[in-house]
Amino acid sequence: MSLQSALSPLVSAAIEAALGPEHAGADPVLRPSQFADIQANAALALAKRAGRPPRDVAAAIVEHLAADGVLAQVEISGPGFINLTLDDAWIGNRVSAMSADERLGVPRQETQTVPIDYSAPNVAKEMHVGHLRTTVVGDALARTLEHLGHHVIRQNHIGDWGTPFGMLIEHLLEVGEDSDEARLLETDPNAFYQAARGRFESDEDFATRSRSRVVALQAGDAETLRLWTGLVELSTHYFNRIYGTLGVTLTDADLAGESTYNDDLAAICAELEAAGIATMSEGALCVFLEGYTGREGRPVPLIIRKSDGGYGYGTTDLATVRHRVRDLVADRILYVVGAPQSLHLNMVWDTARLAGWLPESVEVVHVQIGNVLGEDRKILRTRSGAPLRLMALLEEAVATARAVIDEARPDLPEETRATIAPQIGIGAVKYADLSVAHDSEYVFDLSRMVSLTGNTGPYLQYAAARVRSIFRTAGVGPEQARGRIVVTEPAERELALELIEFGEVVAQVGAALEPHRLCGYLFQVAQAFSAFYENCPVLKAEDPAVRESRLALCAVTLDVLVTGLGLLGIEAPEEM
Ligand code: ARG
């Protein structure tokens, strides 16, 4: 239980008792304070309404504050702030309760069904760092919401349909389905794509064949579909290798690409046209929505059927909404997608609302993903300006982590260093993606990400490993350290106060869909632990009861760090 949720009802009750029933449930306006554990600022606003001096109102509230067993000290300060200092015993009881609770105070919420659209790379194209970020953020949200008790349905909306597939299939036929060139799809998809593109641009015959191949594909020609399936499969192997390296939870069962909606598209257009929501404009079927205007106030259409009869990205996305509401029975739908697609998604949702496919009771959220930049503050690319190969980037991260660990821990056996380097390197990359607000951009800087100091993944992993080493030295497992926790020293108190916030923070991440809050919180826990460890001897504590209490506090710290990192999809190495 967090400070907010413990103190809020207490102060609210005091307000009501002091000022009368019309103030029942008044917000105590709790704020962190330098001078106490927390400060209640409600008296200022209440004083205005009551026409009494704020300090008087504060005094009246304090008089009715049933602080027994919770608060050690209550003080009025400044114009009418109420400074609240918690009782050490209360804090000790709260962390002790966490130590006995396998959920660590994380609530189990009423289950909602939540489809999450994330990752969504494109077949026969390189996954870029933008896809990396939607993959990492989406996966952290999926893990967190599941942990809170929700029914998460992962939807990997891969780009597996559209006009380029004519050219890609023709190229596959030319190089041979079992050739090394075809295998490029599994290792360097861009190289395959570029080669196909090159053929398309330089050979008129090839281009003509490609165009009729698209027609055959759309008409459901069996042989063409077989070739297309092969192409998608090879690409999926590539995605799966990346997912495996990253340790994300997506599997083939979560694939729900653009092509899965093919059979819905004609009906979607027909229904929208019949309802008068879509109209023909210059040969294309379009939806014109209020409030979407471009330059010179010209309305921006959502094109749902092009003049050549083809369907586009907007049509398939309308199908995603309808499917997720109607078939998946969603309560809340998340689209973890690049920020620039905001206009597109909003037009899709507005259209779906008009059509009755997206009732007001279903919440839909665009979890906007900001750009990942290079040191030149432009979209991250290789030195030669080519788009980055994601696998190469991940390999570099692991190699950099390996160098860091070789330097920091040459005493660890080679085998151990080989095991933890990927945990650290990948953890570093993921943490960098997660620790900034998902909608802001950031500069990709490997050497900063893998640093053992600062707000980095490795710093948190290191904190957890340090706690583990205490237990190794003690010769007991953390699961055995479940004694009563008594806090007395300031550093102990600070650490315990951080730890008891865990459940509330996880709930907030689930509500606001902001994993960076969990990152910031875990960073504070790690810092508080470090201060505790410096100031409070654990194994060397003279009093056995103190030693036991501190070991138990270490165990809760470890649980919070490991569980918290786990919700972010980051491993916690045994040793570092
Ligand atoms: N494949 C798209 C891209 O690479 C992302 C798809 C996102 N999801 C969606 N339902 N539109 O940009």
Give me the chain's average pLDDT, please. 94
- Ligand 1 centre and the CA of 303: distance in Å? 17
Q: Is 67 in the pocket of ligand 1 (CB under 6 A)?
A: no
This prediction has a pTM of 0.95
Give the other-Cβ count within 10 Å of 20's Cβ: 10
Share of the chain above pLDDT 90, in %: 84
The answer to whether 243 and 180 are in contact (CB under 8 A) is no
Instruction: Give bridge partners of residue 84 from the DSSP assignment.
Output: 38, 74
Those residues with Cβ within 8 angstroms of residue 166's Cβ, 6 or more apart along the chain or in another chain: 209, 210, 211, 212, 213, 214, 215, 217
Which amino acid is located at 552 in the chain? Answer: A
Atom of ligand 1 nearest to the CA of 131: 4
Q: Is 536 in the pocket of ligand 1 (CB under 6 A)?
A: no
What does DSSP say about strands 372-373 and 113-117: parallel, antiparallel, or unpaired?
unpaired
| pLDDT band at residue 174 using 50, 70 and 90 as cut-offs | very high
- Ligand 1 centre and the CA of 257: distance in Å? 9
Q: Is 12 in the pocket of ligand 1 (CB under 6 A)?
A: no
**Neighbour order of strands in the sheet with 363-369:** 151-155, 113-117, 332-338, 363-369
Q: Is 239 in the pocket of ligand 1 (CB under 6 A)?
A: no
Please state the rounded mean pLDDT for residues 549-553. 98
Note the pLDDT tens digit of each residue in 374-390. Answer: 888 887 776 666 767 88
Q: Is 368 in the pocket of ligand 1 (CB under 6 A)?
A: no
Q: Is 13 in the pocket of ligand 1 (CB under 6 A)?
A: no
pLDDT at 388: 77
d(CA 69, CA 252): 53
Kindly tell me if the per-residue pLDDT of 427 is higher than 70: yes
Within its chain, how far is the Cα of 474 from the centroid? 36
Note the pLDDT tens digit of each residue in 466-495. Answer: 999 999 999 999 999 999 999 999 999 999
Q: Is 564 in the pocket of ligand 1 (CB under 6 A)?
A: no
- Ligand 1 centre and the CA of 340: distance in Å? 11
d(CA 294, CA 290): 12
| DSSP at 35 | S
pLDDT at 297: 85
- Nearest of 175, 209, 176, 215 to residue 195 by alpha carbon: 175
Domains and CATH numbers, the chain: 3-86 (3.30.1360.70), 113-159+261-372 (3.40.50.620), 164-247 (no CATH), 390-567 (1.10.730.10)
Note the pLDDT tens digit of each residue in 21-57. Answer: 988 888 999 998 888 999 999 998 888 888 889 999 9
The answer to whether 248 and 116 are in contact (CB under 8 A) is no
Tokens of 364: 């839909």
Tokens of 91: 């804090």
Note the pLDDT tens digit of each residue in 7-22. Answer: 899 999 999 999 889 8
More confident call, 35 vs 544? 544
Pocket test for ligand 1, best of 116, 122, 318, 321 (most atoms within 8 A of CB): 122
Tokens of 391: 């696998």
- Ligand 1 centre and the CA of 335: distance in Å? 9
Q: Is 438 in the pocket of ligand 1 (CB under 6 A)?
A: no
Phi/psi of residue 257, nearest 5 degrees: -75, 175
Ligand 1: residue whose CA is nearest its atom 5: 120
Within its chain, how far is the Cα of 132 from the centroid? 12
Q: Is 257 in the pocket of ligand 1 (CB under 6 A)?
A: no
d(CA 177, CA 169): 10
Please state the rounded mean pLDDT for residues 216-231. 95
| DSSP at 471 | H
d(CA 348, CA 344): 6
Which amino acid is located at 8 in the chain? Answer: S
Q: Is 317 in the pocket of ligand 1 (CB under 6 A)?
A: yes
Q: How far is CA 309 from CA 218, 262, 303, 411, in A?
A: 11, 13, 11, 66
The string of DSSP letters for 417-458 reads HHHHHHHHHHHHHHHHHHHS-TTS-EE--HHHHT-SSSSSHH
The answer to whether 284 and 305 are in contact (CB under 8 A) is yes
Ligand 1: residue whose CA is nearest its atom 11: 317
- Using only C-alpha atoms, the chain has a radius of gyration, in whole angstroms, of 28
Tokens of 555: 């165990």
pLDDT at 489: 96
Q: Is 335 in the pocket of ligand 1 (CB under 6 A)?
A: yes
The answer to whether 367 and 438 are in contact (CB under 8 A) is yes
- Ligand 1 centre and the CA of 120: distance in Å? 5
pLDDT at 383: 66
pLDDT at 48: 85
Ligand 1: residue whose CA is nearest its atom 6: 120
Pocket test for ligand 1, best of 131, 239, 325 (most atoms within 8 A of CB): 131
CA angle 103, 105, 110 (to 5 degrees): 80
Share of the chain above pLDDT 70, in %: 99
Q: Is 120 in the pocket of ligand 1 (CB under 6 A)?
A: yes
Give the other-Cβ count within 10 Å of 376's Cβ: 9
Q: Is 126 in the pocket of ligand 1 (CB under 6 A)?
A: no
Pocket test for ligand 1, best of 157, 242, 324, 347 (most atoms within 8 A of CB): 157
pLDDT at 47: 87
| DSSP at 488 | -
Q: Is 435 in the pocket of ligand 1 (CB under 6 A)?
A: no
d(CA 560, CA 103): 10
Within its chain, how far is the Cα of 478 from the centroid? 28
Helix (H) or strand (E) run with residue 372 in it? strand 372-373
Q: Is the dihedral of CA 70, 76, 77, 82 positive or negative?
A: positive
Please state the rounded mean pLDDT for residues 552-556. 98
The answer to whether 189 and 124 are in contact (CB under 8 A) is yes
Those residues with Cβ within 8 angstroms of residue 367's Cβ, 6 or more apart along the chain or in another chain: 137, 138, 141, 334, 335, 336, 337, 438, 513
- Ligand 1 centre and the CA of 466: distance in Å? 41
- Nearest of 26, 50, 38 to residue 77 by alpha carbon: 38
Q: Is 117 in the pocket of ligand 1 (CB under 6 A)?
A: yes
Which of 415-419, 443-447, 464-468, 535-539 is the least confident region? 443-447
Please state the rounded mean pLDDT for residues 521-532. 98
Helix (H) or strand (E) run with residue 18 in it? helix 3-19
- Ligand 1 centre and the CA of 444: distance in Å? 22
Kindly tell me if the per-residue pLDDT of 1 is higher than 70: no
Tokens of 561: 């760090």
Note the pLDDT tens digit of each residue in 58-107. Answer: 999 999 987 778 999 999 998 899 999 999 999 999 999 999 999 999 99
Please state the rounded mean pLDDT for residues 406-431. 97
